[in-house]
Structure 1
Amino acid sequence: MFQSVKILFLTIVVITIAKSADAAQKCQKKPHHDSFVCVCTEKRCDTIDPLKRTDNDVIQIYESTRAGKRFARRIQKFGYNVKVLYAENRNLTIDRKQKFQEIIGFGGSFSDAASLGIGSLSKKLQHQVLSAYYGKKGIEYSVGRVVIAGSDFSNRPYTYDESPWDWNLVNYSFVEEDTKYKIPQLLLAQELSNIKLKYFASSWAPPAWLKTNNKLNHGGGLHEAPGSIFYKTYAKYLLKFFDGYKAAGIDWWGMTIQNEPATGFDPWFPWNTCAFSPETERDFLKKDLGPTMEAAGYTPENFNIMVLDHNRNLLPAWADKIFKDPEASRYAKGTGVHWYGNAVSSVKIYDDLHALHPDKFIFATEACTSGPDGDRTGLGNWTIGEEYAHDILRDLKHWVTGWTDWNLVLDMVGGPNWVQNYQSAPIIVNAEKNEFYKNPSFYAMGHFSKFLPPKSVRIGILPEIIVNPDSDQFQAGAFERPDGGIVVIIINSRDANQLVTITDTERWTVKINVEPHSFNSLLYY
């Protein structure tokens, strides 16, 4: 009898320990600014369990709030009436019959700063950082942007071939940032992911000897014109990057032609750049870059080249100039956009571009910001998280197919950055203490990336516009996942609770409370 009880007790203990080890870990809070960060150490780091299919009569609600929640999960039955005091009322109607764009994915960038920051931690924490982003118990990013050579977020300005007039690029070579940091981290991220990741790359500047000002910064473009030896050498230079990483085991989804090409016309621009006009980009693509990449196996069928990779105020004219050319259009699959300058340009620009070229995708390729003076990293800054969430949802509701953050991680000053352009990132690493901090922007990203896997589709929701599509404090969007689940994402930046009545035209109605200053991802089947 005693032996049986002992065996039963041990069995219960083992099962309990196993369940505990598998359960989502809670946030270790550290107050900062108007909210807090979640501290990750070798012993403890918060996680979010893989999403589960539920019965058809319930809705799963995941909440992150300024006041204290991070991916808090609750389940509510359809038809249950919530009573909330002092709430503003909202009504949303989901229409599955209305189908819009397919989602490509969400992710962040493997800059030098990000990769060096990850590499400054212990091996265990390096694994945890990439697991937090790409793992099944993380926010499940599906996209990674890779910087070709240096950017401002490097320790120094550099390229892969500093030997003037090396037309055959015999002195081309990768640096430690590639071989020791970026490539191993890209391989680990892919290993941790349940899906094939979409890696794309962007160049900030060609070697200085190819440029008119013989400098990596302070503006300047390539010598001569597309079709010349300068442009053809640059195309080969870019190809060598893709081939080198591919030989190391990295599979490529695509590239942008040039990071922020319009900055190259500014003779005072402080960091790496190269000038391209839409006409120059068009001709470079059809005469040099496109044919060079295609001949090496990076074809329009398996490789996605994006134009622009700059602010939306340059649209739709920039992309239209390229897409209207049949030769260039064959190589160009979509448009890359950055969020800088959004305050002076309407999100409706994307509607105009989509109307002109519905066969070309629009994809957000970079965004970052900084905290107030004295705290550029924005530790615990909920407002930055709200900026992320609103911009992502606003974009998705206007034909954008996904969203890529800038640096995956930065250090405690918001770098390294060789021109001191320090910024915030969703994860800030503290190498001295061997720990890292998840900012509110990490959770803002996760409320999209975790719930909207590639091939999800935006569906109808009414009202589409609450007040102003460029400045609403309350937003909602609806999507259908590949597994048939319906996701409703609600961002509430108001100071009051919102009592939201959601009606699915093919199902039933549910009332839920949405807390002030919160990100909410709702999932039902």
Structure 2
Amino acid sequence: MLQALKLSLLSALLLAACTQSPAPTTADAPRVHPGMGLRAASVDRSRLISWDGARTFDFNGAVDASTITVNENEVLQEIDGFGAALTDSSAWLIQNKLSAAQRNAVMQALFGFNDGNASISYLRLPLGGPDFALSHYTFDDSCCDLNGFSIDHDRAYIIPLARQAKSIDGSLNFMATPWSAPAWMKTSGQLGTGKLNPASYPAYATYLRRAYDDYRAAGVTFDAMTIQNEPQFEPGSYPGMKYEWYDELNFVRDHLAPRMSGTGVKLLTFDHNWGMAWYPRAVLNEGGALYAGSAWHCYGGNVSAMTDVHNAYPNEGIYLTECSGTHGNGTFAGNLTWNMQHLFIGGVRNWAKTVLLWNLALDPSGNPHTGGCSTCRGVITINPSSGQVTYNEAFYAIARFVWPGARRIGSSNSRDGRFISAAFRNTNGRKAVVVLNQSAGTGTFRVVAGGPWR
């Protein structure tokens, strides 16, 4: 039997409907259904991740142009998690510009499970300093061996916050991403330009394995590692390193993959923009067995590029690993809508196993940063003078009840174009539907599913 839940939704409202107990046996009988509820964020901020534990739904099986149909028999990709990057800048702000009480409250808001929390389930960790760091550094800036290797820089505040986050959410996953090899390993002798010198391939593979080992010994284990952040870009003003696809493949095949054997770390290629799908295609075509998939950024091209690569290499995972909001640009409504359209609904509908935003925290001017983006905005904003914390649109876009290990299941968008959706089945069997009203004004839609939901 088809069962339709009829719901009203304010313009650009993010809604997750979680049904937990069997549907009523009497059709066409509106009632309060125990265990069924909504969690929502509205564009006018009147509701921000608020939960209603019991709501009245109309079960009548009707289908119209605003209907979203859920097919739980269509089982799609596994979800690894949603979150952001704990950059050097983000960790420094949280650790040093908040009191202990403020910091604990912020960490609970980001990683906790209570009403109003984002419930972040995945963190990206730069290996060495990106543009969002207090300084440009790697784990061995001496020359010219690995005798000076140390992750002590990260022990000051990055690793303690990563451990605290893991203590709040035991299912939290971590992804590691290098921005550059040490300058002495590169063709340019500079952090901001150049390629990895082939003579340094063995040393750099050892460097990355030591980063994994030392982080793990410190209580933070990587679930995945991308080979290089934005491998087709030499930033100049901050650490970066260029790979041609065949250079990356040679490094991974002959050096990194053997060094990482036995760790269980998923190696991911690419980590760059939607508009350059030729790069992961070339790598996966020649060396797909070495990789768990490809990583993607939102700064160019179309999100559908991920589906194109999935269709060509269906056994390789798709990971959306970076997208940043900008301060002083757009409105709360517009930014929340964009995030849902392109990332948290659009991304997973295009096979993403993760959706990760850029900086977890920045100050009101988008600092600290040393080169690169001057307008980027964090998931949260911390005023370093007062300690005031602002929870930005991205915070509410991340928030959901879809946990690591969930499987996306089939769901349609409405025929009238007003509502788009993504649906999931969590490991405990409970299901969630995330719906965005992308039209102006309040609208009513139906969610139709076959059989009882639990």
- When normalised by structure 2's length, the TM-score is 0.86
Residue 196 of structure 2 aligns with an amino acid whose one-letter code is: L
Deviations 1:430-470 (A, max 9, x none): 23222311112201110xxx311122222222347765xxx
Answer whether contact 2:322 2:358 (CA < 8 A) is retained.
Answer: yes
Aligned residue number for residue 257 of structure 2: 290
Q: Quick one: which of 114, 121, 124 aligns to 2:101?
A: 124
Cα–Cα, structure 1 residues 476 and 124, in superposed 2: closer, same or farther, change >3 Å?
Answer: same
Pairing of 1:26-41 with structure 2 (within 5 A): none
How far is the alpha carbon of 1:398 from its aligned partner? 1.6
**How far, CA to CA, are the matches of 1:346 and 1:64 in structure 2?**
26
Instruction: Please say if 1:161 is aligned against 2:140.
Output: yes
Structure 1: give runs of 5+ residues left out of the alignment: 1-34, 36-50, 82-87, 468-472, 508-523
**How far, CA to CA, are the matches of 1:464 and 1:339 in structure 2?**
25
How far is the alpha carbon of 1:100 from its aligned partner? 1.4
**How far, CA to CA, are the matches of 1:207 and 1:416 in structure 2?**
22
**How far, CA to CA, are the matches of 2:422 and 2:391 in structure 1?**
25
Aligned residue number for residue 340 of structure 2: 389
Instruction: Please say if 1:179 is aligned against 2:129.
Output: no
Residue 275 of structure 2 aligns with an amino acid whose one-letter code is: N
Answer whether contact 1:388 1:445 (CA < 8 A) is retained.
Answer: no
Q: Quick one: which of 76, 80, 95 aligns to 1:100?
A: 76
Deviations 1:469-500 (A, max 9, x none): xxxx6422222222222211111232221110
How far is the alpha carbon of 1:386 from its aligned partner? 2.1
Aligned residue number for residue 149 of structure 1: 128
How far is the alpha carbon of 1:382 from its aligned partner? 3.4
**How far, CA to CA, are the matches of 1:464 and 1:357 in structure 2?**
29
How far is the alpha carbon of 1:52 from its aligned partner? 9.1
Q: Quick one: which of 311, 314, 318 aligns to 1:362?
A: 318
Give the 3-state SS of the residue equivalent to 2:104 in structure 1: helix
Cα–Cα, structure 1 residues 313 and 465, in superposed 2: closer, same or farther, change >3 Å?
Answer: farther
How far is the alpha carbon of 1:145 from its aligned partner? 0.9
Q: How many residues align?
A: 418
Answer whether contact 2:65 2:416 (CA < 8 A) is retained.
Answer: no
Pairing of 1:327-346 with structure 2 (within 5 A): 328-341=287-300, 345-346=301-302
Answer whether contact 1:282 1:321 (CA < 8 A) is retained.
Answer: no
How far is the alpha carbon of 1:72 from its aligned partner? 2.5
**How far, CA to CA, are the matches of 1:451 and 1:329 in structure 2?**
32
Residue 308 of structure 1 aligns with an amino acid whose one-letter code is: F
Q: Quick one: which of 227, 231, 239 aligns to 1:257?
A: 227
**How far, CA to CA, are the matches of 1:465 and 1:424 in structure 2?**
35
**How far, CA to CA, are the matches of 1:103 and 1:258 in structure 2?**
22
Instruction: Please say if 1:69 is aligned against 2:38.
Output: no
Moved over 6 A (4+): none
Answer whether contact 1:106 1:143 (CA < 8 A) is retained.
Answer: yes
Residue 79 of structure 2 aligns with an amino acid whose one-letter code is: I
Aligned residue number for residue 232 of structure 1: 202
Aligned residue number for residue 456 of structure 1: 406
**How far, CA to CA, are the matches of 2:252 and 2:415 in structure 1?**
38
Residue 50 of structure 2 aligns with an amino acid whose one-letter code is: A
Point out the structure with max Rg over C-alpha: 1
How far is the alpha carbon of 1:126 from its aligned partner? 1.5
Aligned residue number for residue 318 of structure 1: 279
Aligned residue number for residue 424 of structure 1: 377
Q: Quick one: which of 249, 266, 289 aligns to 1:304?
A: 266
Aligned residue number for residue 372 of structure 1: 328
Higher RCO by CA contacts (8 Å cutoff, separation 6 or greater): 2
Residue 317 of structure 2 aligns with an amino acid whose one-letter code is: F
Aligned residue number for residue 514 of structure 1: none
Cα–Cα, structure 1 residues 247 and 486, in superposed 2: closer, same or farther, change >3 Å?
Answer: closer
Structure 2: give runs of 5+ residues left out of the alignment: 1-11, 13-17, 25-32
- When normalised by structure 1's length, the TM-score is 0.75
Identity %: 26
Instruction: Please say if 1:244 is aligned against 2:220.
Output: no
How far is the alpha carbon of 1:104 from its aligned partner? 1.3
How far is the alpha carbon of 1:352 from its aligned partner? 1.9
Cα–Cα, structure 1 residues 479 and 157, in superposed 2: closer, same or farther, change >3 Å?
Answer: same
**How far, CA to CA, are the matches of 1:348 and 1:320 in structure 2?**
14
Instruction: Please say if 1:413 is aligned against 2:387.
Output: no
CA RMSD of aligned residues (A): 2.3
Q: Quick one: which of 303, 306, 310 aligns to 1:350?
A: 306
